[in-house]
Amino acid sequence: MGSGPSLDSLDAAIAAFDRALRSVFAPAHASRPPPPRAAEPAPLSDSERRASAALMRVNHAGELAAQALYHGQALVARSETTRALLLAAARAESDHLAWCEQRLRELGAQPSWLGPLWYAGSFFIGAATALMGDRVSLGFVVETERQVEGHLNEHLSRLPASDGRSRAILQAMRDEEIAHGADAAAAGAAALPAPLPSLMRRTARVMTATAFWI
């Protein structure tokens, strides 16, 4: 007769489930204050407010998905060093999520209604990737953060010029995403198979296009 799951694996699964519930259903709480409020030359017009809100809703969805990716990867990571790196990155993403959520409230807007879907799908993608080994999992972090950097640069170019508040948040997020990718590369990330980065970009486009509106 085969043995049942170990206590360690059960504890890890319970912790992962708790993180999922907190990420999706609890109000986001930051461990750090948001970037200092930038002086805005003039109040946002209604059209500018709607444009900023749509972009920040996409970024909120992206941060929720990033948390889920790291949580899924951490659950099946093979080394404690890799797990610690992934969970540290996830904590930073939690701050980003809270900053985006706060900014959405300031803009009078709501996060994407599809948050549970973004989290669940990303969690299983992260876990499946991590099953290929820690070096591949770290390579996935490097590629994810490279694509997120490009995505944030695009959003910075699309924000209304007068929305200094959102701009400061996205710039701080971008700098930290770059650091996450560099940490993963230094930890021994492997290059991903050629089709995977393209698949990641297509998946991200579906999420961003949907979260922009819903």
User: Which of the two residues, 49 and 197, has the higher pLDDT score?
Assistant: 49
**pLDDT tens per residue, range 118-154:** 888 889 889 999 999 999 999 999 999 999 999 999 9
H/E/C letters for each residue in 153-184?
Answer: HHHHHHCCCCCHHHHHHHHHHHHHHHHHHHHH
Q: What pLDDT is recorded for position 172?
A: 95
Q: What local confidence, expressed as pLDDT, does residue 23 receive? A: 57
Domains of the chain in sequence order: 44-211 (1.20.1260.10)
State the pTM of this model: 0.84
CA distance 212 to 208: 6
Provide the token pair at 77: 């990571």
Give the C-alpha separation, 211 to 214, whole Å: 5
| Of 53, 64, 56, 159, the residue nearest 108 (C-alpha) | 53
User: Among 69, 102, 85, which residue's Cα sits nearest to residue 204?
Assistant: 69
Average pLDDT for 91-115:
91
**pLDDT for residue 101:** 93
Return the pLDDT at 16. Answer: 57
pLDDT score of 5 more than 60: no
